[in-house]
Amino acid sequence: MPKAPPEWQPPTDPSGPSAPPEFTPPRDPGTAPRTVPEFEPPEQVPPGKGAPTPGRPARPEEIPDPERDPLRTPERRRETREPDEEPAEEPEPEEQDAMAAVVAYVEHCQEVLSIEDERGGGIEVGIGQNSCPAALLYHPMGYSAVVNMHGANVVSWKRPDGSDILHLRPDTPMDGASPILGGVPLIFPQYGRASGIAAYAGVGSSSVPTNGLLNRMHWSLIGTGVTGLDAPDPAPTAVFATESDESTYAIWPFHFQAFYTVSLMCTDEILPDNLNLKPITRGKREPTEEELAAAAAAQAAAAPKRGRGRPNKWKALGDKGNAEEEEEEEDADEDIEEAEEAWPVQLRCVLEIVNTGDEPFTFEAAVQSHVGIGQMASAEAQGLAGKMVLDCDSNPDKPWLHMSTDDSTTFGERRMDRVYIDAGNEKSGSVMIYPGNHRYHLELIHREGFRDLGLWNPHHDLPDPSMFNDFIAFSSGEIARPVRLEPEESWSGEMVLRLHEEKPDEHVQWENMGDWES
């Protein structure tokens, strides 16, 4: 357990920022509310240049000098200025304090909360493109995810080849104040506009902005962790927190805390149930006898059918092995292929809301994923037959309720705004999302708290109408039936987005196969 740093006070001297917020370990949902560290974000920071290209956030020492103007002395700026370059505008003292505080906070998190696991995964903390702190989760199989602490938005989820599964709109304002457009933003306490589905559900408020408050609030990183060293998958995990303040209370008059857990992991269905996946383990530790026994049993159950070796992708995570074992692995190609197919990588997101006030409140909550696509005409969602639908396609202010008769729906070249009730959960089965690129597809799984699926395609409502061809958006949430939370009560919802690398012709369009006889 890392030693808690001294409580942070607002900086008064730009040359010597004080210590960042106190570290508070995460807790299990349902216990008494936690105390959220107070992180005062910059009120105004320089916006990013050009379209966002999320990747590994930069550490403070990696940021080029021109990007750190608020932290440089006037003498240093004059020394590095080109002969024909206009003199840089002197930053205000408040801006210097704000940027110094961000750098100090990031340096603290990198020192205390970063993890480099011996199995190949880990967590780093740096500065995102919008000059806000960001956390990088990286997996030994080559996948990575970046969570920007402005809005706790998962702005990037990359495959080993460097391609990004998620999509950020090129017009998103990277100013550290406006919501990030794209990625995986959080929705609370209102889904969409006040006059749409939120009004139908009885929670619409004209004072609350579209999709609520969490996507424009600044969050603190309060915990990181990996699984025990006996587990094959480190499953890097980060926990973020925020809470209401005077500015949010003026918009929505209730007090709350929010906690958000993001994990990058192989399917958790192969891991032992009693292995603690919550981020309370930092760095190395010796596994207990019970964990070793549970891990051995789980690995035996998940091993290839003929029991010859483990997938090559795990071999690089620290297995020493001997020549005989290596030969067995080489002889078990078929089993290895089966095991690799059984272990897709997934993004696991858990949102928790705690009522810290004296009044009960009612809310909607969701996690909305924006995924880049290949062809809009072939992008579709499957697993929706028989679901009741709140449909706002034709009129966003007048949802109408009907039953879906088709198992799949294509996003197509039309406006789409609808919510499928009780979709994607254990009873109804997961929903498959096909981005239309024939390289991979996504399996959407709703667990505790999330029961509804929202599909959204803005079509020509965007500032640049051509942008709608670049992405699809779907929400996992509690939307049609709002949650009522009494004082000191908590609620949580969990979404799993599982990536399946797709083989050629794996996704068959049955309607295009013509007539055939059985």
pLDDT of residue 290: 53
Task: Give the per-residue SS3 of 457-497.
Answer: ECHHHCCCHHHHHHEEEEEEEEEEEEEEECCCCEEEEEEEE
Strand partners, 154: 147
Beta bridge partners of 188: 212
Q: Is 509 exposed, middle or buried (0-12, 13-18, 19+ CB in 10 A)?
A: exposed
What is the pLDDT, as a whole number, of residue 26?
Answer: 42
Residues 302, 275 contacting (CB under 8 angstroms): no
Structure tokens at 463: 């500032």
Q: Is the pLDDT of residue 305 over 70?
A: no
Amino acid making up residue 293: A
Encode 137-165 in three state secondary structure.
EECCCCCEEEEECECCEEEEEECCCCCEC
Question: What does the pLDDT look like over 145-162, one tens digit per residue?
Answer: 999 999 999 999 999 999
Q: What CATH number should be reported for the domain whose range is 60-270+347-501?
A: 2.70.98.10
Q: How many alpha carbons lie under 13 Å from residue 122 in its C-beta half-sphere?
A: 15
Please give the pLDDT value at position 400.
Answer: 83
Is the whole model's pTM more than 0.85, yes or no?
no
- Domain limits, the chain: 60-270+347-501, 303-343
438: three-class secondary structure by DSSP: coil
Per the DSSP assignment, residues forming a β-bridge with 434 are 380
**Whose CA is closest to 441, among 359, 517, 505?**
505
The model's pLDDT over 107-155, given as tens digits with 9 standing for 90+, comes to 999 999 999 998 889 999 999 887 899 999 999 999 999 999 999 999 9
pLDDT at 172: 82
Q: What is the pLDDT of residue 190?
A: 94
Estimate the crossing angle of helix 323-331 against helix 333-342, to 10 degrees. 80
Residue 468's pLDDT band, with cuts at 50, 70 and 90, is low
∠ at Cα 292 (287, 296), nearest 5°? 150
Closest-CA residue to 264 (of 499, 25, 28) = 499
Whether 235 contacts 268, CB under 8 Å: yes
pLDDT, tens digit, 9 for 90 and up, residues 219-247: 999 999 998 877 888 999 999 999 999 99
pLDDT reported for residue 70: 35
